[in-house]
Structure formats: structure tokens, C-alpha cells
Structure 1
Amino acid sequence: MNAFDPSNIFGNGIPITVTAAMIESIIKMKSSDQDIKVEITPKHIVLSGTTEVKKMMFKKNVAFRITLKPVHVEKRTISFELVEMEPIDRSFINQRIFNRPPFFEFENRMIKMNVSAWNIVRKIPVGTIKSFELVDGALKMKLSL
């Protein structure tokens, strides 16, 4: 009889799935003035919706569409490049949407997603992101053991 080998159960790592709805709920957290939808395709994460912009004493809802492309993984953080923003590319809008520590950080057209902040990953105290892929509706990753 063979000794217990955890790699038999988990294969190449522990599978974790972050859905579009999970990302949406984090972005909406602490902000009631945003109407945001998140779509995950095999190549990009696309956010669309409206956010309230204040200019002097006026408030206006501004529609936006942001396209993100994953470009780099380090330990438990995935970095996304801001590929496109419509109709206007304004840093303060990106800051307002993605300033969600410890989940997201926005700096220099890069969005860093710290997956350790997610409850689903926090339950696993060890391991780094071994691999990840975008599929329709989700970001699937494997944590190394």
C-alpha cells in the first residue's frame, strides 16, 4: 500500500475559481454610486457601467468600459494591463474603481489583484499562483502546494 500523496488529489496544485460576480462584488464594496458589470472572456476582463464624477459643485454619472489583460504573476498577485478605456481614459476614474485595498491596487495603468485577500484563497495559507487562465465567466488558477 502506498503512503498518502497529496499530489494525487490536487494534481498540479489547488484549483481556485474567482468568478465575474465575485470581482463585481469587491468593486461595488464601499461604493454605492457605481453600477458595474464584470465580464470575463478567454482573453480579457471587461468592466462596464457608470460611476459618479463630481466636478466643482456638479455631479454627473459617466459611462465607461475598461478592458484589462493579464500580463504578470508574482507570488499571489496577478497584474493586469489597462488595455482600453472608453469613452475617456482618466486616471481618477480608474483610481476610483480599482482603489480597493487589499483586493486591488491601481498604479501606472496597471491593476494588481492580490488573491490572498479573497476568502476562498485566504483559507489556504501556503502556496503561490502556479498557473491561471481566463475562461468564460471566471478566472481559474492553481496554487502550488
Structure 2
Amino acid sequence: MSRFSPFKNGIPISVTEAMIERIVKMKSDGHDIKVEITPKHIVLSGTMEVKKMMFKKNVAFRITLKPVHVENRTISFELVEMEPIDRNFINQRIFNRPPFFEFENRTIKMNVNAWNIVRIIPVGTIKSYELVEGALKMKLSL
């Protein structure tokens, strides 16, 4: 008699576009922030207030991220493209969201353990992950 375990290949977890949007909007200077997850990239778009001298201007931005590395419960994304201008200070203002995101050297690290949906599972590391339409799906090892 064999035993069937529904979690034999790991515990499935999904992080949705709405979840990432909510985190990026927290304490953010960004407006109209939208997150789109496709099978190849995560794309963030919106507007950011930029101050230059005594003037303030809302600048539209679009950031494209590609997952490149997993370690324990952290997924690293490469900043593939930033439009219209690639400025570190804009990336810092968007992705400086500890404990969820860290930004350094064109790499965004997402600590999935900061999400309640993952934190409730006290053991395991990210075994696999994939981008699908609307979500980042991953499996935690047991």
C-alpha cells in the first residue's frame, strides 16, 4: 500500500500582481502603480514625482524585471529595462521596501518569507518558481 502526499513535490505558493502592487504602493511616492506578470517578466508602471531644483514633475516610468536566481527564500530579479530614464534613485524609491524588497546594483531581491502566505510555513526553501500570467508561482521544499 502506497501513501499519497499532495505535497510530495513541495508546497505550492502564489504571489499575485495585486500583492506586489500593494507592497510597492506602501509608503511610496509612486502614483497609479500597476504590476503585470507575464511568463517572462514582471513589469511595473506608474508615475513618480521627481523634484529638480524648485520644480516638481510627475514622470511616467516602466520597469521590466526578470527572475535570475533563487537562494533559500529569496528570489533575485535583474532590472532588464527602465523607461524613460534609468535612474538609481527612482529604483531605490520604488524597491526600498524592507523586508519585502531590496535594491542594489540593478538587482531587486524579493524576500518571500516577508509575505504572510509564506511565513506561515516555518520550514523549507524555494524549490522551484515560474512566472505565469498574473502570478509568481513557487514551490517550497519540505
TM-score scaled by length of structure 1: 0.93
- Secondary structure, in 3 states, of the residue corresponding to 1:8? coil
Cα deviation code 1:82-131 (max 9, x no counterpart): 00011100000000000000000000000000000001001011100000
Q: Residue 71 of structure 2: which of 41, 63, 74 is its match? A: 74
- Tell me the number of residue pairs that the alignment of Structure 1 and Structure 2 aligns: 142
Gaps spanning 5+ residues in structure 2: where?
Answer: none
Q: Residue 124 of structure 1: which of 116, 121, 125 is its match? A: 121
1:89 and 1:57 mapped to 2: Cα distance? 22
Partner of 1:98: 95
**For 1:22-101, what aligned pairs fall within 5 Å after superposition?**
22-31=19-28, 33-101=30-98
2:29 and 2:60 mapped to 1: Cα distance? 15
- Secondary structure, in 3 states, of the residue corresponding to 1:116? helix
1:139 counterpart = 2:136: yes
1:139 and 1:81 mapped to 2: Cα distance? 15
Code of the aligned partner of 1:125: P
Cα deviation code 1:5-40 (max 9, x no counterpart): 6x7121200000000010000000112643210000
Q: CA RMSD in A?
A: 1.4
Residue 59 of structure 1: how far off its partner (Å): 1.3
Partner of 1:19: 16
TM-score scaled by length of structure 2: 0.95
1:43 and 1:134 in contact (8 A); partners too = yes
1:131 and 1:33 mapped to 2: Cα distance? 31
Cα deviation code 1:27-76 (max 9, x no counterpart): 00112643210000000000011011122222111100000000000000
Q: Residue 114 of structure 1: which of 102, 111, 114 is its match? A: 111
1:35 and 1:51 in contact (8 A); partners too = no
Q: 1:72 to 1:51 in 2, by over 3 A?
A: same
